[in-house]
Chains A and B, each alone.
Chain A
């Protein structure tokens, strides 16, 4: 317990942790502020203004269409004749239905429609912070000699590394849970002030809570992978290098090569797709080079659905590989 307390204190005391967490919170505040100022409450006056704007646009475009029709009718025998059809009734005349008042409404924050994207943004940002904090927490200890010092005090390598990881994951869990709760509260307020909460049923709330739980799992998992990679390489830079390498390999290199090779569902090899599948419960990929004929819909593309269970499985394998390898190597490596 004393070791766990020491590691928790060490994590919280680290300046790097503080700077990254404060930076992350500042970005989240900026996102929330941006959403607050760019969204507006929609009431009868906004609806009336949007309707008036739609009408004004319809009338303007109708006038323009009438003018064009007159020019068309006057064009035969002139140099302008080539610009118009011979039958001027073919010119399109706008209808009122073409000008949906909805388009002229100000942006409004409808909680049920938009908060899911906000949870994804929160998860992505916090996962990035978790990776760097996790990598630095153990990487800096290895490279500064702090880990060696600690092992002189507690010559139980697995216990020391495991406790360190536990302290990190507990810290990330607490931070993510509190931040997600605050995030939900802030956006509920924004929706109340600059949008609507009206369609939120208990099922919708439950769905968002489950999405936040998946966000929390993602953050903790990415933190553990960063920790594992940095411990394997005994330096923070190793984890960061591996992350950059993975992005280059899976996001750019492999994607380009596989698309040149005309491999089906190239997106399935890209990391963000799996992240989206995890967060949104599923992602449906389509292959437009295939034709599945149906009498009602004609040619339909092949589809591949990546579910959150599949994404969770991949995440679990990555965690087991990174953390397992770190634990395995620390058991017997010479610490010099």
Chain B
């Protein structure tokens, strides 16, 4: 597979009277052709800055970027016709209808007007196309934004929070749309905070924190890298869970007591758990590996898991670790 999008050592610094803030600090990213690629990061981590920089809206202070094998931003005018994008919240002139909005964009980009109706149909706005955009709900504006990005029938589609404001049905439709587009050969870069969706839709992910890449690669690999050897242990009803925990701790296990089960985090041999407990006539009703999901990996890597009694500030996230991340 060839890389459709490559970013290497991207840097962006904002200077103000309050000091210097590094929004991007040597960020790297690679997206292969035909993939749906999740681009994840906590608020203020540099996701939108990356996308804006990539699309020529912001000037970087350093680093290299390429789209479809062409260095950008210098080649953006030539490849813009092959890149569809929405960045951050959908922003349209409220007094124009959806049809007018897309029609004007089609004119500006030299796209056939017949595409306007095709994409409105695709995102489910056909029957509301003549209404003014300011009467639309957030979800409808989001659909219009996706339609505008699809208007060019691009090879690379960049969507920043496309599911924002969508109802559950809309989210599912969006998921199906992403998959269909990827199957048709389009590469999709998807920035989202709905990690369950990302895990379902995406082939690969890049996780950014404090302007640096902290993880990247196929979703399965990223999850596997962070899979733990923890086991969930549930004992038969009527048995005191605390007693079971003490028995296991006495045998050297690291046990976390949950409200109705135990989590054993250093269980190299699950059979040892059943044996130790059975010797004290405590019988196991459930013994299952604790699976990791993208959300837990994200929270761990970005250091943004909520801590009881603390109010985390937006800039409080994990810096990129010394090892960098997968794929480096």
Chain A contact residues, CB within 8 Å of chain B: 2-3, 5-7, 9-10, 13-16, 140-141, 144-146, 148-156, 332, 334-336
Query: Interface-forming stretch among B91-99, B168-176, B253-261, B290-298?
Result: B91-99
Digitize B119-141: 1 where CB-to-A-CB distance is under 8 Å, 0 elsewhere: 00000000000000000000000
A6→B103 CA distance, assembly (Å): 8
Q: How large is the interface on B (under 10, 10 to 19, 20 to 34, 35 or more residues)?
A: 20 to 34
Are B100's CB and A13's CB within 8 A? Answer: yes
Are A151's CB and B91's CB within 8 A? Answer: no
Which residue on A lies nearest to B80, using beta carbons?
A155
A151→B108 CA distance, assembly (Å): 10
A-B contacts, 11 listed (Cβ < 8 Å) = A3-B107, A6-B108, A7-B108, A14-B95, A149-B91, A149-B105, A150-B105, A152-B87, A153-B108, A155-B80, A336-B52
A15→B100 CA distance, assembly (Å): 13
Contacts of A151 in B (CB 8 A): 56-57
Are A154's CB and B109's CB within 8 A? Answer: yes
B59 within 8 A of A: yes
A-side interface mostly: helix
Contacts of B91 in A (CB 8 A): 144-146, 148-149
B267 within 8 A of A: no
Pick the residue among B58, B80, B87, B92 that contacts A154 (CB under 8 A).
B80
Pick the residue among A6, A16, A155, A334 that contacts B77 (CB under 8 A).
A155
Are A146's CB and B92's CB within 8 A? Answer: yes
Q: In the complex, how many angstroms separate the beta carbon of B94 from the nearest chain A beta carbon?
A: 7
Contacts of B59 in A (CB 8 A): 332, 334
Are B107's CB and A9's CB within 8 A? Answer: yes
Contacts of A336 in B (CB 8 A): 52, 57-58
Contacts of B41 in A (CB 8 A): none
Contacts of A153 in B (CB 8 A): 80, 105, 108-109, 152
Digitize B28-56: 1 where CB-to-A-CB distance is under 8 Å, 0 elsewhere: 00000000000000000000000010011
Q: In the complex, how many angstroms separate the beta carbon of B50 from the nearest chain A beta carbon?
A: 13
A227→B33 CA distance, assembly (Å): 42
A10→B108 CA distance, assembly (Å): 10
A14→B94 CA distance, assembly (Å): 10
Are A155's CB and B55's CB within 8 A? Answer: yes
Q: In the complex, how many angstroms separate the beta carbon of B233 from the nearest chain A beta carbon?
A: 51
